[in-house]
Amino acid sequence: MPVARINGIDLGYDVYGTGTPVVMVTGTGAPGRVWRTHQVPALTAAGHRVITLDNRGIPPTDAGPGGFTLDDMAADVAGLIEYLGAGPCRVVGYSLGGIVVQELLLARPDLVTRAVLMASSGRTDALIAAMTAGDIELADSGTKIPPGYAAYIQALQNLSPRTLNDDEKLRDWLGVLELSMVDRSAVRAQLGLDLIPNRLPQYRAIDRPCLVIGFQDDLVVRPHLCREIADAVPGARYTEIPGCGHYGYLERPEEVNAAIVDFFAEEPR
């Protein structure tokens, strides 16, 4: 994995394919490689050069001294786009990464032509606040949850009833979740960055075309929170993918990929 010196930190990134650049920003605790299985092949096949990154605090990317903010993460994405000479370009953000992209659209609209915002929110509601507080409390306690139990909780929280009721698929998911479980203490610096004030009024200033994607069975960022972003951003479009939870881009990748590719195809290359 290449590493660039950006904003005083070492930032890890990967580049796949050739063509029109697309930068993909993932969510809390996740490395950039989560896009490799489904989204990278679909986008490269559609003629895009896909750029993924490991957000601050996800090795090999540094956290930096003294912690960091949402603005720092948005500045890192901007810095990487400039470092690679990729701007202005298309950008995709998921969950916390969606919030990062929303802030990028306000801070550096010159670097973005259009954006896809998946499972993202424009404000913190009571459930997001409670979940984040629980994650922080768990990370700070030093408690180690058995991997099998943690995988079960992750499945309930992030997958749809459609998957949970399919024994074969669920067994596969539980195996993957157990092997890829994130140590909350290791990503402590990212926890709480999704606790944003109501930013919907500010998002009315976004002037780039946006596609907002909600996942029908998402219990983490419920679809109405995604729809609020589409209602706030002038001209934004909203689509909801059925039969998937918070991990919708992995649970229903064909539908998600089609929505992204079709939206990006609307802009002349």
| CATH number (domain holding residue 56) | 3.40.50.1820
Evaluate whether residue 101 is within a structural domain. Answer: yes
**Confidence bin at 30 (pLDDT 50/70/90):** very high
**Confidence bin at 88 (pLDDT 50/70/90):** very high
Average pLDDT over residues 135-159: 92
Q: Is the pLDDT of residue 110 over 70?
A: yes
Q: How far is CA 187 from CA 28, 78, 248, 269, in A?
A: 8, 22, 22, 37
Q: Is 246 a catalytic residue?
A: yes
pLDDT score for 264: 97
Evaluate whether residue 24 is within a structural domain. Answer: yes
Average pLDDT over residues 17-41: 96
| Catalytic residue selected from 14, 62, 120, 246 | 246
Evaluate whether residue 134 is within a structural domain. Answer: no
Q: How many CB atoms lie within 10 A of CB 79?
A: 19
Evaluate whether residue 158 is within a structural domain. Answer: no
Q: Which residues span the domain enclosing 112?
A: 3-124+197-265
Q: How far apart are CA 1 and CA 5, in angstroms?
A: 13
Average pLDDT over residues 107-129: 98
pLDDT score for 144: 87
**Residue-wise pLDDT tens digits, 162-194:** 999 999 999 999 999 998 877 776 688 899 999
* DSSP single-letter state for residue 198: -
Q: Count of domains in the chain?
A: 1
Evaluate whether residue 9 is within a structural domain. Answer: yes
Evaluate whether residue 36 is within a structural domain. Answer: yes
pLDDT score for 105: 98
Q: How far apart are CA 73 and CA 78, in angstroms?
A: 9
Evaluate whether residue 138 is within a structural domain. Answer: no
pTM over 0.85? The answer is yes
The CB-side HSE value for 120 (13 A sphere, CA atoms) comes to 33
Evaluate whether residue 79 is within a structural domain. Answer: yes
Q: Is 38 a catalytic residue?
A: no
| Catalytic residue selected from 95, 120, 121, 160 | 95
pLDDT score for 186: 64
Q: Is the pLDDT of residue 142 over 90?
A: no
Q: Is 217 a catalytic residue?
A: no
**Residue-wise pLDDT tens digits, 232-242:** 999 999 999 99
Burial 212-231 (b: 16+ CB within 10 A, else e): bbbbbbbebbbbebbebbbe
